[in-house]
Amino acid sequence: MWSLFLRDIRLNIRAGGGALTGVIFFLAVIATIPFGVGPDLNLLARIGPAILWIGALLACLLGLDRLFQADREDGSLDLLVLGDSRHMLALSVLTKCLAHWAGSVLPLVIAAPLLGLFMNMEPIGIGATALTLLVGTPAITFIGAAGAAVAVALPRGGLLISVLVLPLTIPVLIFGVSASYGAVADPDPFLQPFLILAALTLFLAVLGPVAAALALRHGAD
Amino acid sequence: MRLIAENLGGERGGETVFSGVGFALEKGQALIVTGPNGAGKSTLLRVVAGLLPVAAGRLLIEGGGEDFPSVASACHYLGHQNAMKTVLSVVENLRFWRDFAGADFLSAEEALETVGLDGIGHLPFGYLSTGQRRRAAIAKLLVSRRPLWLLDEPTAGLDKASEGRFAVLMRKHLEGGGIIVAATHLPLGLEGAQALVMGRVE
């Protein structure tokens, strides 16, 4: 499993990895918001966490279509499916998700505090948003894996995956944003939505890979 | 170890591609599957590997013991694609499959030497020619131990010398108690192999 993780990380870093694309897209979204909303600093600070979360969510969806498609095109996917008897396929999928997250999504989380400055957010708000992103974005990857597995045989599956996955990520977005607000706005709680967010990630860490493995096994042709 | 197929049928997308195929292979035996394009050779191999469901009949492996309880766990599947990443070096690719498949056999370097690719293991897989890619994929069969080799057009793109070298490898595998099922148009140089000619289903 460790070798699969390392291989996917290497693929992500070398030629044509999705890490930089996601970060640049994230930057583009966040940098254009102040131009659209206007120079009202209070308004920017208030919508900051929500905008960061939406930007990160959309950037997460960008590279998902390649998660299994690249492996399918060169025949590796067949061997991963055949390896089911040694390593459970769901476990291989989980490993691929974690590698994808570490390679493509973690850079977004690292970039988020810097982009928070663009939105005139307070330090504590920036910290809370980065923390909720760190805990919440794996859930998006796990849901995305199920979508990517369903659409693996389609040549232009990227858009379909986004449409399939986006509605399912709404709970993650809601609790992520409300926890971020809870850290700055006083009466709102931080801990409760944050714990629900963590629970969502753990729950989807099981459900997503199992669903993806099922789709991959039956989608083989 | 025995690989047995009885009255096997396979379908793709709801269409029956072949039916009523049967064979029994003891260890040390090979089966060469031939037939015109579209006769279902690749489908047969994918059904045997377990990548496609068995539509009719029975397929089982006997005497695999604890290590190889099912066909999928006992087989190396060499498909049309080479299952190697173009941006990783040849050795990195082989090391990955060695770690992933388990049951280590030869090291990546030894396997490359066996297929005559020593000295180019550090190159990215994408830099290799078609024949060299195929030979690297054949080296993948050698890095971990599996008794059953399922080969789909294994010699496509190989030159005469490499074909000969591959025939030696296959013979060695059979002498060591392995089983080979190969779909091909080209003679593989295996004497005494069983032949299965597939025709279109009327």
DSSP letters for chain B: -EEEEEEEEEEETTEEEEEEEEEEEETT-EEEEE-STTSSHHHHHHHHHTSS---EEEEEEES-TTT--SHHHHEEEE-SS----TTSBHHHHHHHHHHHH-SB-S-HHHHHHHTT-TT-TTSBGGGS-HHHHHHHHHHHHHHB--SEEEEESTTTT--HHHHHHHHHHHHHHHHTT-EEEEE-SS----TT-EEEE-----
Q: Within a 10 A sphere around the Cβ of B165, how many other Cβ atoms?
A: 16
Chosen for mutation from B42, B45, B81, B125 (greatest number of chain A CBs closer than 10 Å) is B81
| Cβ pair B84, B22 in contact under 8 A | no
State the ipTM, two decimals.
Answer: 0.87
Helix (H, G, I), strand (E, B) or coil at A151: coil
Cβ contacts of B190 within 8 Å, gap of 6 or more: B30, B32, B167, B170, B171, B174, B180, B182
**Are A76 and B83 inside 8 Å of each other by CB?**
yes
Cα distances (angstroms) measured from residue B21 to each of B37, B45, B55, B59, B188: 17, 12, 12, 10, 22
Q: Within a 10 A sphere around the Cβ of B126, how many other Cβ atoms?
A: 13
Residues in chain B closer than 8 A to A10 (CB atoms): 88, 92
Q: Chain A closest CA to B2's CA: distance in Å?
A: 19
pLDDT digits (tens, 9 = 90+) for B80-92: 888 898 888 999 9
Q: Which two tokens stand for residue A146?
A: 């199920």
Residues in chain A closer than 8 A to B79 (CB atoms): 75, 78
A14-23, B60-69, B131-140, B146-155: lowest mean pLDDT where?
A: A14-23
Spatial CA neighbour of A53 closest among A130, A142, A141 = A130
Q: How far is residue B122's CA from residue B173's CA, in Å, rounded to a whole number?
A: 27
From the centroid of its chain, how far is CA B89? 22
Q: Does A87 touch chain B (CB under 8 A)?
A: yes
Q: What is the number of residues in chain A?
A: 221
Q: Does A217 touch chain B (CB under 8 A)?
A: no
- pLDDT score of A78 more than 80: yes
What integer pLDDT is reported at residue A98 of this predicted model?
A: 94
pLDDT digits (tens, 9 = 90+) for B102-144: 878 888 888 888 888 888 888 999 899 998 999 999 999 989 8
Spatial CA neighbour of A67 closest among A117, A119, A142 = A142
Q: What is the average pLDDT across A153-182?
A: 90
**Are B70 and A73 inside 8 Å of each other by CB?**
no
Which residue of chain B comes nearest to A14, CA vs CA? B87
What integer pLDDT is reported at residue A114 of this predicted model?
A: 92
Which residue of chain B comes nearest to A1, CA vs CA? B100
**Are B80 and A75 inside 8 Å of each other by CB?**
yes
**Are A4 and B100 inside 8 Å of each other by CB?**
yes
Percent of chain B's residues with pLDDT above 90: 11
- pLDDT score of B18 more than 90: no
Tokens 């293991």 appear where? B121
Cβ contacts of A78 within 8 Å, gap of 6 or more: A220, B49, B51, B77, B79, B83
Which residue of chain B comes nearest to A9, CA vs CA? B88
**Are B51 and A220 inside 8 Å of each other by CB?**
yes
Q: How far is residue A77's CA from residue B46's CA, in Å, rounded to a whole number?
A: 13
| Cβ pair A142, A208 in contact under 8 A | yes
**Are A15 and B87 inside 8 Å of each other by CB?**
yes
- pLDDT score of A27 more than 90: yes
What integer pLDDT is reported at residue B202 of this predicted model?
A: 42
Which residue of chain B comes nearest to A70, CA vs CA? B85
**What CATH superfamily is the domain B2-197?**
P-loop containing nucleotide triphosphate hydrolases (3.40.50.300)
